[in-house]
Structure 1
Amino acid sequence: MKGTRLLLAMGYAIALGVCGAAEAAEVTYPSWQWGESANAALLNKVKEKFEKDNPGDTLRSISVPYDGFFDKQYSEVRAGSPAEIVSLFDPEMASYVKQDLLEPLDQYLAMAGVSPDQLSASHKIAIRNGHVYGVAFQTNPRALLVNGKLLKDAGMAMPTNLDEFLAALKKLRDPAKQQFGFYSLSTSGPAQDAYLQTAPIILGFGGSWFKAGQPTASDPKTIAALRFIKKVYDDGFVPRVDSRAAQQMFIDGKIASFIVGPFLVGFAAEQNKATYENIEATIPPFPGKQAAAVTVFLGIPKAAKNKDAAGRFIATLLKPEMQRSVVEIIKALPAVKGSIPTGFVDQNPWFRAFVEAGDHAVSYAPEGMEEYGPEIYNLIGPAIEDILFNNADVERAANDLQTELEKFVSGKKAN
């Protein structure tokens, strides 16, 4: 332990020597999350601390639309004119690392007194050859978030298996109240959204799109999950809205359950006390019991103008006070292990399901092909939409997709 502390202290001193002499600078940080109340509250807290502790440094927050965000960001990074801070989901993180587009963050972790082995398991995708290239702003394992009042008003207990869950969805559907029992994909949109919204269900059934870099679209468990997604759509158990509108419906008490990250609780706490006070959570009652996780990473592009100042901002985010605030303000899992405030789970029992999910959750990115995520979305997303909106036969569509994915993998190996 003494040796570890000595190394951390040495790293901190080295980082100060490298970064402390750097001139103060402006850090540009565009993100859709500046427009989300809970996320903005935390980010502004980190911004205030960063600017206070680093006189002359400033952070320019830029609220941008979510739609098209990742394509625009990638174009700017590739063109050599990026912002100082980039936001990356799991597949983008893997892709940027593979393309060597990011600055290693090791010295900035040292500034914060954090060693790589203290980072949460979600960082596996952000580490290459022993260097850390991304830090989690937040990790959101997926659990079944439930409005307990709606369930109790329907005379039902928390479902523990698939049959009970389907029975609950049928009973909870109330057209007169515009009330639904569940949300899953039900509108056409970007391929990434189709992939992201269905991945927790696919994994929950024990299925997957890839295992160890090989396609598994035709796996019986994957097909079973697709049949479930189609059933709840065809039977009218889910509203015909996109995921963001569905989040608001959950907050407004119109959707009883939602496989989503804990961040939605933070939104509910701010917007609807009645929903917030009745929130419960459990591992989704699907046969596979596998949880998915979605992480928002922050990175610094190699071509960024003011990399040292951006690193100081990331070091500020990693400070203990800020890591506790990730949990308290946005209700997500933090980057640094052991940062959940004492008593938080006891005071917020619903959070326990997310902690348990986080302990064994796997990234929603295609396993073994994470860096090709955006390309893979463009194959999988249309196939899912064909099943839902064009009434394509599930098994045939899955087998056709398997063939397409196998061709895709062969093409990448050939290159």
Structure 2
Amino acid sequence: MKGTRLLLAMGCAITFSICGAAGAADVAFPSWQWGESANAAILNKIKADFEKTNSGDTIKSINIPYEGFFDKQYSEVRAGSPSEIVTLFDPDMASYVKQGLLEPLDKYLELAGVSLDQLSVSHKIAIKDGHIYGVAFQTNPRALLVNKKLFRDAGLSMPTNLDEFLAAIKKLRIPAKQQFGFSSLSTSGPSQDAYLTTAPIVLGFGGSWFKAGKPTANDAMTIAALRFIKEVYDDGLVPRVDSRAAQQLFVDGKIASFINGPFLVGFAAEQNKETYKNIDATTPPFPGKQSAAVTVFLGIPKTAKNKDAAGRFIATMLKPEMQKGIIETVKGLPAVKGSIPAGFVDQNPWYSAFVEAGDHAVSYAPEGVEEYGPEIYNIIGPAIEDILFNNKDVQQTANDLQAELEKFVADKKAN
């Protein structure tokens, strides 16, 4: 087996060069990630390696805004005029696979010398009938990121339960310093953002929106999570900014705790060494102790023009040195199991919380109906916003939402 993989790895570099010489290709790769320092750093490294070993082929790195990205991308794919590489979160991945919009990537895994069983558990959503249709650029399980300095300055230790956590959030709120103890949904925006921002809290409480394809919007723990989200909003304990601005506030040392992915530590490492050296991570002190994960997949549309070159770029991303670079630069979990460099966790002890979370985290996509994720966002997102911004009753809104989701599922089954 080792000999086979060595031959594959050796053949990889040879094949890249031969394929590149066969005919130059431009690979369009639009993403907001080209505009983020840590993500751009490793993407440009993969791009440089690809272009070096694929003579004449080029990656067109197109930096576009995050807002509206997924809707625009989907419209282009459905219209038959997509970019060569698409970026997909979990539910988008499931939806594209369900609709048959993506090219299978099996031969590019083989080109990279990687087998399906070597890929992280997050790839389950990208596999159908033994074929894989997306490869993770990074997986970001959620944990509670903590700025240890802000906690120390307030005389606080790490909270171990919900009551301690709420007390800490209140003590860490210092208006004169524009400092907050926590961040959660606090502004109106795209439905996907409302869903994504609150999903780790809902799951952390032991709640969910779906279980095995059945709606659970008015489950007791889902309602408890919504009450918590409303409480910290109503009491002014979270900054009134969108999720991306909140990430920057955490990097700037203005938010003491934030349920987010390891990529945010990567941002801090690039932008604010003081925050970076004071970061710790742990399981959120919620009653359910469940963690959510968000994976950023790369895929190739079936109707893309230069599919083979795009596939070779994805194979390049799977090289061991690139997987190591994703961990060290972005701080996300890699696509290929066993890629974490020796000593990395010892040097970055906060990372262990994410490694542990990655072993058991569930996708934030609605369980059992993942392929309908984008449509489900548009039902759940406005309901959450009604609770926060229109002061709707939590229990009644959850009951109404449950009925709406049950009708949605019934309609899908009927069709």
Instruction: Please classify the TM superposition score into its range, dividing by the shorter chain length.
Output: over 0.9
1:414 alignment counterpart: 414
- The residue type paired with residue 263 of structure 2 is F
Change (3 A) 1:233 1:358: same
CA distance in 2, matches of 1:10, 1:240: 53
Matched ranges for 1:217-236 at <5 A: 217-236=217-236
Structure 1 residue ranges, 4+ long, deviating more than 2 angstroms after superposition:
1-24
* TM-superposition CA deviations, 1:90-120 (whole Å, max 9, x none): 0110010011010000000011100011000
Measure, in 2, the Cα distance between the counterparts of 1:169 and 1:74. Answer: 39
Write out aligned runs for 1:8-19 (5 A). none
Hey, what's the Cα distance between the residues in 1 that align with 2:275 and 2:17? 50
Note closer, same or farther for the CA distance 1:347–1:225 as it changes in structure 2 (3 Å cut): same
Deviation per CA, 1:222-259, whole angstroms, max 9, x where unpaired? 00100110111111110111111111111111110000
Quote how far apart the aligned CAs of 1:8 are.
5.8
- Paired AA for residue 141 in structure 1: P
- Report the Cα offset of residue 23 of structure 1: 2.3
Shift of 1:3: 9.1
Q: Please list, as runs of the form range in 1=range in 2, the aligned pairs for 1:13-52 lying within 5 A after superposition.
A: 22-52=22-52
Residues 1:295 and 2:286 are matched in the alignment: no
Matching residue of 2:358: 358
- Residue aligning to 1:250: 250
CA distance in structure 2 between the partners assigned to 1:41 and 1:23 by the alignment: 27
CA distance in 1, matches of 2:11, 2:402: 48
The DSSP-based 3-state class of the residue aligned with 2:380 is helix
- Unaligned ranges ≥5, structure 1: none
Counterpart-to-counterpart distance in 1, 2:339 and 2:6: 22
Q: Alpha-carbon deviation of 1:55?
A: 1.0
Match of 1:396 in 2: 396
The 5-angstrom pairing of residues 171-250 of structure 1 reads: 171-250=171-250
CA contact 1:142–1:354 (8 Å) conserved in 2: yes
Partner residue in 2 for 1:106: 106
Inter-CA distance 133–233: structure 2 relative to 1 (3 Å threshold): same
Q: Indicate whether 1:266 and 2:266 are aligned.
A: yes
Contact 1:15 1:107 in 2 (8 A): no
Structure 1 position 24, deviation (Å): 2.7
Q: Which moved more, 1:40-49 or 1:17-26?
A: 17-26
Q: Secondary structure at the match of 1:407?
A: helix
Aligned partner of residue 365 in structure 1, secondary structure: coil
- In structure 2, relative to structure 1, the CA distance for the partners of 1:320 and 1:17 (3 Å cut) is closer
SS state of the match for residue 97, structure 2? helix
Residue-pair matches, total: 415
| AA of the residue aligned to 2:169 | L
Task: Give the aligned residue type for 1:219.
Answer: D
Q: How far apart in 2 are the matches of 1:145 and 1:389?
A: 26
Query: CA contact under 8 A between 1:15 and 1:110: conserved in structure 2?
Result: no
For the structure 1 residues 407 and 295, does the alpha-carbon distance in structure 2 shift closer, same or farther, using more than 3 Å as the test? same
| 2:310 corresponding residue in structure 1 | 310
- Please show how residues 273-284 of structure 1 align to structure 2 within 5 Å: 273-284=273-284
Residue identity matched to 2:35: G
| 1:158-189 residue CA offsets vs partner (Å, 9 max, x unmatched) | 11110110010011011111111000000111
Map 1:365-380 to 2 at 5 A.
Answer: 365-380=365-380
**What does residue 342 of structure 2 align with?**
342
- What runs of 5+ residues in structure 2 fail to find an aligned partner? none
- Equivalence for 1:66: 66
Q: 1:20 to 1:44 in 2, by over 3 A?
A: closer
For the 8 Å contact 2:140–2:263, the answer to whether it is kept is yes
Is the Cα contact below 8 Å between 2:20 and 2:55 reproduced in 1?
no
Question: Do the aligned partners of 2:17 and 2:53 also contact (CA within 8 Å) in 1?
Answer: no
Instruction: Give the secondary-structure state (helix, strand or coil) at the position aligned to 1:207.
Output: coil
Aligned residues of 2:25 and 2:58 also touching (Cα < 8 A): yes
Shift of 1:9: 7.7
Work out the CA distance in 2 between the residues paired with 1:279 and 1:25.
43
User: Residue 115 of structure 2 corresponds to which residue in structure 1?
Assistant: 115
- Are 2:148 and 2:280, in contact at CA under 8 Å, matched by a contact in 1? yes
* 1:155 equivalent in structure 2: 155
**1:6: how far off?**
9.2
SS in 1 for 2:334: coil
How far apart, in 2, do the equivalents of 1:241 and 1:17 lie? 47
Tell me, yes or no, if the aligned pair for 1:8 and 1:115 is still in contact at 8 Å: no
| Cα deviation code 1:257-306 (max 9, x no counterpart) | 00000111111111111111100110100000100000010000010111
- Aligned equivalents of 1:278 and 1:17: distance in 2? 44
SS at match of 1:192: helix
One-letter code aligned to 1:204: G
Q: Distance in 2 between matches of 1:6 and 1:353?
A: 33
Distance 1:16 1:246, change over 3 A: closer
Matched, 1:88 2:88: yes
Root mean square deviation of aligned Cα: 1.9
Change (3 A) 1:413 1:8: farther
The one-letter amino acid of 1:312's match is R
Local SS of the residue matching 1:146: strand
Cα displacement string for residues 355-382 of structure 1 (whole angstroms, at most 9, x for unaligned residues):
1111100100000111111110011001
Name the aligned partner's letter for residue 150 of structure 1.
Answer: L
Q: Distance in 2 between matches of 1:3 and 1:217?
A: 52
Cα distance in 2 for partners of 1:13, 1:255 equals 45
1:22–1:308: 8 Å Cα contact kept in structure 2?
no
